[in-house]
Structure 1
Amino acid sequence: MFRFDNPIYLWLLLLIPLSAIIYSYSVRKCKQRMKKFGNTELMRQLSPMISQRRGWVKFALAELVLFLLVLIIARPQVGSKLATNRQREGIETIIALDISNSMLAEDVVPSRLEKSKLLVENLMDKFSEDKIGLIVFAGDAFVQLPITSDYVSAKMFLDNINPSLIGTQGTDIGKALQLSINSFTPKSKVGKAIILITDGEDNEGGAEEMARQAQSKGIKVFVLGVGSKEGATIPMSDGEELKKSSGEIVKTRLNEDMCKQIAAAGHGVYVHVSNSNVADAVLGRELGKLQKGKINNVIYSDFDEQFQALALLVAILLIVDVLVLERKKRW
């Protein structure tokens, strides 16, 4: 299994396009100054040893070195030792987590999204022989973590979840349920459950039909409704609140009726998530009713660092950068 031990440093990769923009701007400004100084063709003839192409080559080398350095400090690792690889008795659970902007509302402390993540983490702490998968969705859905019994990796992926992971806003619960159904271990006869965590707002439709399909395949759908009927405003990253085009503040409310309908269609239960810990107890009790079956648990207990090859490549690129001069060779 491959992983980054410090994945938060991967955000530094944003420096690569930023530096490219700055470098392009500086090259363009330099050309404008040269035009003011004199005729461009004449300047080129007077300085035949200057090579613009070599400047771009050196910049590309610097960008590649920056890319590799970011990967190094993120600590790439590969699992080397198995803690266990034997059959155990457990269930399979896919958690579908809503990460639309409305989940940033703070009618549940500290916010709908953070409360949901805390609830999922508490659920993982109660698992021992089970497998868990993680799907995030808004207007689109994708697998954040394939189904696994490696709870350490699951918590690591959970920590990095935020609304910026999906650019398409909305709440397409139907797509999330469809992806969840396809994410279970094929032909597995263990008890299976989908835990849908959402505020149910701006649903795109088709959720109840997908919940019925899940039920027909022996998969129960539990729905955790996060938020309040009174609603709350949505804080933005800049500290301001999301507003409509008319200038009025947007207020997001829990669509509890729709959540209950989805749970009923999936033969599961609906649980309202508030500032109490009632949801944890109810969900744990319902999951305990599922039939346990034999599953293969594969957990890596030790990981080998993989930065050495990247560090060697960085050293080679730095040497090449030194050897490549910005002026042309005489020959």
Structure 2
Amino acid sequence: MARARSRPRRGRARGDGAPEAAMILWRDPLSLLALGLVPALVAFFLWARRRRERALAAFVAAALLPAVAPDLDPRRRVLRWALLTVAVLCLGLALGGPMWGFRWQEVHRQGIDLVIAIDTSRSMLATDVTPNRLARAKLAVQDLVAELHGDRVALVAFAGSAFLQCPLTLDYGAFAQSLEAVEVGIIPKGGTALT
């Protein structure tokens, strides 16, 4: 097992307290200027609608229009323009990059970086300890990790060569899954070499 000196890490913090649900920060507030297109789009739609109605009124009486051109349903046009307006509105909001929930800040934590190496050669199947050496090593690692608080931990499996099974992490659940996956033969090259 190798240890590294403690050092400050960057992480999430809630600051003075939980962030307010109503507080939204924008990654790129200038992109919100695209929302100015929404009123322009609505104005254009109203202008185009009046122009179209005038053009149709010049050729066909309003009462005869449904019989002459049934596919010119005004509700369809309104729905199409409404959907387009909502799409532009959503695009403008998405371009602004709304963010909420937490903020990034520099957090100084005291802790160590712990790298655990486990031999996965055939010798770990020996039953001189119950049930075998590998199972006992996994139990010892689980006990060690259960005692950690705020320390990063990594896992290296080795036999004829070494493999980083789990990089340094504070996520002990992910580490436990990586540890569970360690088996004899996980490293195709046989032997015992921690290099």
With the shorter chain as reference, the TM-score category is: 0.3 to 0.5
Between structure 1 and structure 2, the one with the greater Rg is 2
TM-score when normalising by structure 1: 0.27
